[in-house]
Amino acid sequence: MKRQGLKPDVFTYGSLISGLCKEGKISAALQLWNQMLERGLIPSVVIFNSLLHAIFQRGKFWDILLLRKAMVVQGFQTGEVTLGILSQEISNGSMKRFPKVAKVLDWVISNEFQKETDQKTIAG
């Protein structure tokens, strides 16, 4: 693409990120995510959801918090699909081994996380 003078758009990045997530290549997907943000592109909620689901599958809980915060900062409201992913993963058996993490993630999907992040963003 570069040789032909073409630049990837959100849909191109989304397709690549989704494919990498399905292959379990979270690090590569997050690198593309960062590259997309550096280029000033705003990710779609579909990209967020692909990453959330894949990150849960790999147990990278800190990345979930960072990604969720990025969603709020970018102005994305938590939709039904995102809530479904978060709720399903919190209630699934693997999270029972990590009750403190489950509690934090439960807070993350609540409106309180959204409100606190909005306040911190506004305050600078």
Report the Cα 94 to chain-centroid distance in Å.
19
Which region among 31-40, 48-57, 114-123 has the lowest average model confidence (pLDDT)? 114-123
* CA distances, 74 to each of 11, 56, 90, 103 (Å): 17, 21, 24, 24
CB atoms within 10 A of CB 56: 21
CA-based end-to-end distance of the chain: 38
Burial of 57 (0-12, 13-18, 19+ CB in 10 A): middle
For the cut 50, the answer to whether the pLDDT of residue 122 exceeds it is no
Predicted confidence (pLDDT) per residue in 51-100, tens digit: 988 888 887 777 777 787 787 777 777 778 877 777 777 666 556 666 77
- Tallying the residues shown for the chain, one arrives at 124
In this structure, what are the phi and psi dihedrals at residue 57, rounded to the nearest 5 degrees? -60, -30
For the cut 70, the answer to whether the pLDDT of residue 111 exceeds it is no
Sign of CA dihedral 81, 118, 73, 59: negative
pTM, two decimals, is 0.70
